[in-house]
Structure 1
């Protein structure tokens, strides 16, 4: 059987004018807990001759933050502060465990931090993983349908930014929230996107019915020739769910009990905030790193046993990359063991595009769908977010008008309009946990779209003008900029 593991790495643009904001700490924690360990594991497996390539999607906003000099310097400070705090407030094996993790993160960052996107690109060129990308600012594409050229701009700009940051021309793209409908399917074809990932029910309820593939969802070819690879929901939830899946086991590290919630003096982090240092198990006891690692190996073996029993010809599991290491502390231990052992169990780990090219898939129109609650767009398009989308569409109109009028602020307005389209803001507003931050960011971006404040970053102005300021967003396939790795393909 074949197994495809797709990880999607994304955070919204969270750079702030001052350091130590909660939102910038999202980036810093994900860097040392998830992204740097990903690079470490893939490099280690490759150096040992383990051929089990995952597919990793890197969003353009994430790549832009990795490449930002100010944020890199702040990450250096963040690592130093966490390491000092760990020595002060932790003890015993837990302190030793975090010391090792932070030293390894520091070493990887020292080797690759300035060119982290290019480091992943080099692993792609060596065949150790498959690197793909997503839309420019993680825009929820079906919600942009009233401005169809915005869909093309999100896709085309995202691909071009990714190429510039990594040196890789992706043949597949990740759809934010796995959101697909007929308009998005046509846009993928216009942009020559060959493969994407969809939710399982996009295939289950496709028309005509594509049938099942060994009990699992069947990949399909859309009416305009894009291969739609459905996520296997049951296999994914075995790993993803903190209640019924592996991460809920009592001996794993508990995510929500952080020393920042319990200590008066946690340095620059501030009381009541996450520091990344969490010394407890899910069942409430003191965390035992050796027991957590052993359990991760056991659970990886259990998943391989389950896959072999079901004997489906193809299983695709797709996750947010931040699950591994950040949310589920032992996640990269689990995944590395799974990749090491897969071949000996008769499980062939292949990339997304390799799996897509190995079958003669039926032609069908995927059902409009997303992943997440309800399997539709209710999380992002509902009563709590209806007004948000009026702001999004209005900002896009202002950006297009600014280019037509030759405004000096056109690039700034366009960046604001693009950042407003991110699916993160309605997600946070709907979830309410970080709704205040999301509403404040939206207000800032609306002010920038109105010309009341400037947005000088992210994204290079030439590409912003290319995809927002011209009619090119409706003329495809695109011709990447001079020097692009796709220019000759």
Structure 2
């Protein structure tokens, strides 16, 4: 068999903010349930099926600690099981071809959940990793925008996030998808201290030179860059596959059942004029677009090999929730692509496998970057979110000052633990992103202010001899991820 033309790494970033106990619909637990049903369940099913066929090193799967906590939480496990049952009831209500299609989907999801997921997401992810099907990436606890975070809390959040991953999956993640792919010069030193060996940046951070991992500065920590030429073949709102006429339209709903009855039909077609969804038509589009993507990857690798004189690397990276939740046919497309690539002479691997195969280039000095608009930090520190930036600074200062006093007392402090938990949830990068992008703005601001209020209330009670323990316990009933969080481990 001839040598592969190069290596392809698919990297998926699975993340949702802490949604449990913070509203249900249209934003809140409904968001989690939809992503779980339409993305996490079918993706795991695809990977499990490929693994059972003996395939390994299929992709690199990032799962943020805050999402992993929700996939294991008894409250959210009960909630998604109820949601799956309701999905089946709505399918029966719809009737016709739409109802039949949705019935098949809901029945498969219910069976899958009850067979594999009833004890949480960690056994599912751990099984895939132990089989060698995936490499799991971790991250800081509640998805903060790290460059803007106090260094003490940044270090604590990353170390505890990696420990959380080790507890859930049986091995400490060696790589991370940094929240928002955000980087500031010097962060590689914190990564090295935490044992992080590799992380993701967006392609422009490496000036498009993404055909190899690059050691950052004088460290041994490797930066992998997204190949935008390949990634945008899927992701681009103008030319990406999910916008094709045959695929199910995400935005059009049947108001009686909440189901999606239409296909895209056309970019400028009004919702009431869209054609009915046709699964067979969509399946044909999946086959077409999977073959096209494989051809795009191969051509890119051939170009890199000619330019560099050796086999190169392509890293295509996406939000997991794109596949299934946003793009209904996405999991089937992934299945087809992962099957077709080896036959096209492309080596499929994880990031770890790419390093082992020698795809490591010369050291690089990185500037500040992210994968947001402008590839800088404007989404998370721009004028639209100045109030949240100022609020975050006050929250962190208040929490750290209070914790420093509380941990001087002997023994573990549940009050200090909850202060840090609420502070981390308050500074989640999601709230600024949602505000800047004008997506559920009121919900995002309410969430940030709610967690901020918890910090201020608990800290004030602790400082004045008030009922701090009772307040912390009450807040934890809603905001209880990361049970192992121990404020005594905060760097001094």
**Corresponding residue of 2:184:** 181
**Corresponding residue of 1:193:** 196
**Corresponding residue of 1:421:** 427
User: Following the alignment from structure 2 to structure 1, what is the Cα–Cα distance between the partners of residues 351 and 360?
Assistant: 15
Name the SS for the 1:196 alignment partner: strand
Contact 2:27–2:443 (Cα < 8 Å) also in 1? no
User: Following the alignment from structure 1 to structure 2, what is the Cα–Cα distance between the partners of residues 349 and 201?
Assistant: 23
Match of 1:250 among 222, 245, 262: 245
**Corresponding residue of 1:33:** 38
User: Following the alignment from structure 2 to structure 1, what is the Cα–Cα distance between the partners of residues 122 and 343?
Assistant: 32
**Corresponding residue of 2:158:** 155
State yes or no: 1:458 paired with 2:480.
yes
Question: What TM-score do you get using the length of structure 2 for normalisation?
Answer: 0.87
Name the SS for the 1:380 alignment partner: helix
State yes or no: 1:220 paired with 2:225.
no
Contact 1:29–1:326 (Cα < 8 Å) also in 2? yes
State yes or no: 1:164 paired with 2:163.
no
**Corresponding residue of 1:9:** 14
Contact 1:409–1:451 (Cα < 8 Å) also in 2? no
State yes or no: 1:126 paired with 2:125.
no
**Corresponding residue of 1:392:** 392
State yes or no: 1:101 paired with 2:98.
no
Give structure 1 regions of 4+ aligned residues with deviation exceeding 4 angstroms: 17-21
**Corresponding residue of 2:3:** none
Match of 2:285 among 286, 291, 295: 295
Which string of whole-angstrom CA distances, capped at 9 and with x for unpartnered residues, describes residues 182-211 of structure 1? 132221122121001111111118xxxxxx
Q: CA deviation at 1:433?
A: 2.3
User: Following the alignment from structure 1 to structure 2, what is the Cα–Cα distance between the partners of residues 171 and 128?
Assistant: 16
Q: CA deviation at 1:18?
A: 6.4
**Corresponding residue of 2:322:** 323
Moved more, 406-415 or 226-235: 406-415
User: Following the alignment from structure 2 to structure 1, what is the Cα–Cα distance between the partners of residues 355 and 280?
Assistant: 38
Name the SS for the 2:316 alignment partner: strand
> Which segments of 5 or more consecutive residues in structure 1 lack a partner in the other structure?
206-211, 267-274, 472-489
Q: CA deviation at 1:461?
A: 4.8
> Which segments of 5 or more consecutive residues in structure 2 lack a partner in the other structure?
1-5, 266-273, 305-311, 407-412, 459-470
**Corresponding residue of 1:80:** 85
Name the SS for the 2:239 alignment partner: coil
Which runs of structure 2 are paired with 1:468-483 in the superposition (5 Å)? 468=490, 470-471=491-492
Name the SS for the 2:62 alignment partner: strand
**Corresponding residue of 1:314:** 313
**Corresponding residue of 1:339:** 338
Aligned residues: 445
Name the SS for the 1:27 alignment partner: helix
Question: What TM-score do you get using the length of structure 1 for normalisation?
Answer: 0.87
Q: CA deviation at 1:394?
A: 2.1
| RMSD value, Cα | 1.8
User: Following the alignment from structure 2 to structure 1, what is the Cα–Cα distance between the partners of residues 450 and 193?
Assistant: 33
User: Following the alignment from structure 1 to structure 2, what is the Cα–Cα distance between the partners of residues 90 and 286?
Assistant: 14
Contact 1:6–1:54 (Cα < 8 Å) also in 2? yes
Distance 1:23 1:462, change over 3 A: closer
Which string of whole-angstrom CA distances, capped at 9 and with x for unpartnered residues, describes residues 393-443 of structure 1? 222222222232227621221111011121100001112220100111111
Which string of whole-angstrom CA distances, capped at 9 and with x for unpartnered residues, describes residues 274-326 of structure 1? x4x21100012100111111211110111111222231321000000000001
User: Following the alignment from structure 2 to structure 1, what is the Cα–Cα distance between the partners of residues 184 and 114?
Assistant: 43
**Corresponding residue of 1:229:** 224
Name the SS for the 1:257 alignment partner: coil
Moved more, 16-25 or 426-435: 16-25
**Corresponding residue of 2:355:** 356
Name the SS for the 2:60 alignment partner: strand
User: Following the alignment from structure 2 to structure 1, what is the Cα–Cα distance between the partners of residues 57 and 216?
Assistant: 28
Which string of whole-angstrom CA distances, capped at 9 and with x for unpartnered residues, describes residues 12-34 of structure 1? 00112665563100000000100
**Corresponding residue of 1:373:** 373
Match of 1:279 among 261, 283, 288: 261
